[in-house]
Amino acid sequence: MKSYPESIMPFTDGQLAQYEEQGAVTIDTPFTPEELDRAEAAWDRLKQTGGKPYEDPDFIEVVQHPYFEAVAKKVLRAQAVHLWWGLAPHERAPASPPYADSQDQWARGCHTDIQATIEDFEATPRRMRAELWFWLNDVPANRGAMRILPGSHRHVMEYWDQVLTPEHKAMLPRVHGLRPAPVPETAPAFPEHVPDLRETPWLECEPTPFVARRGQVLVLCSAGLHSAWQNEDTVPRKAMGTSWVADGVSCGLPKNQRDAVIEFFPQLRSKLCPDRAHIVPPDFDWLFESNYDPKWPETFPQP
């Protein structure tokens, strides 16, 4: 496997522009129905057995496919990229009725995962995590399609640009889950939150369901507001996710997530084809620890 040829890349400049404006875009992939069958069977196996994903050759086949690396390079405007995260098959299992209504789900689930500034996002290479959700079965709206508030990523990152101290900006991008107020006192981030920045409060906005066909990929910037959604179908939503960052960009993770990456990556790397091993870095000098404490006072302004 060599690099993915730019000329047949099914990820257009227009789709990249959508990612930049809206923070999310669903794109096609080159996987054949047979390849998707193999990937879905691996997903089923891993869910059934609870086995380690890196020990399943069909899972490895997906992770190391050059297409994802090529998409990440284009998203991040980078010459070279590597994995930041991507540990396990992801499931959104069917929920049992009675179902919560949409407003309640959004009010409960709406959050951001990555904290970064708009300057980080607009840099070349982009200092952002490129999150690729690879769908192994169809994702209609009622099968737990992710809800996203298009464009919110820009407002939120502009806000971080305005309020964070230079010292704290130097510690981005980082995984730091935040949500609009009210934040439960039991949440690790409490009392940090994403303040309302537009006329309509975030929790009263209507998010968009990002539906997809089997074999498509959701390219997500999770610095914007989004939410998991209940699956009202009878079958699970099946995904494999990888997250990428440009070479040379330092990334923050809470201690437990950083520990997981440090344990998982060498094992994953040992299973990759030699000409694909570069997608998993051999060291961790790019990965710093960034916890919920000590708090940054700029992140919990009083209303």
Q: How far is the CB of 272 from Fe ion (least distance, A)?
A: 27
Of residues 29 and 243, the one with the C-beta less far from Fe ion: 243
Taking CB under 5 A as the binding criterion, the range among 16-24, 105-113, 193-201, 266-274 that sits at the site for Fe ion is 105-113
Restricted to residues 124-183, the positions that interact with Fe ion (CB under 5 A) are: none
Distance, CA of 4 to CA of 124 (rounded, Å): 21
What are phi and psi for residue 51, nearest 5 degrees?
A: -70, 170
Shortest distance (Å) from residue 55 CB to Fe ion? 27
Give 36 or 148: the residue with its C-beta nearer to Fe ion. Answer: 148
**Stretch of 113-121, 146-154, 232-240, 269-277 contacting Fe ion, by CB under 5 A:** 113-121
Taking the complex as a whole, how short is the minimal distance between the CB of residue 136 and Fe ion, in angstroms?
Answer: 19
CB of 146: closest distance to Fe ion in angstroms? Answer: 8
Identify the helix (H) or strand (E) that includes residue 71: helix 66-76
Q: How distant, in Å, are the alpha carbons of 88, 226, 298 from that of 109?
A: 21, 8, 23
Among 24, 8, 5, CA closest to 66:
5
How many residues belong to the site for Fe ion (CB under 5 A)? 1
13-22 and 66-76 helices, crossing angle to 10°: 60
Judged by CB, which is closer to Fe ion: 80, or 203?
A: 203
| Comparison of 69 and 113: residue with beta carbon closer to Fe ion | 113
| DSSP string for 219-279 | EE-TTS-EE---B-SSS-EEEEEEEEEETT--EEE-HHHHHHHHHHHHHHHHHS-GGGGGG
Segment lying near Fe ion (by CB under 5 A), choices 27-35, 106-114, 247-255, 279-287: 106-114
Interaction with Fe ion in 76-95: which residues (CB under 5 A)? none
Is position 113 an interface residue for Fe ion (rule: CB under 5 A)?
yes
* 66 versus 209: smaller Cβ distance to Fe ion: 209
What Å distances lie between residue 154 and 18, 106, 131, 179, 291, CA to CA? 12, 19, 16, 15, 24
Query: How near is the Cβ of 227 to Fe ion at its closest, in Å?
Result: 8
Cβ at position 125, least distance to Fe ion in Å: 23
Looking at the Cβ atoms of 113 and 233, the one nearer to Fe ion is: 113
Identify whether the C-beta of residue 100 lies closer than 8 Å to the C-beta of residue 147. Answer: no
Closer by beta carbon to Fe ion, 63 or else 148: 148
The angle at the Cα of 131, spanning 78 to 211, to the nearest 5 degrees, equals 130
Binding site residues, Fe ion, CB under 5 A: 113
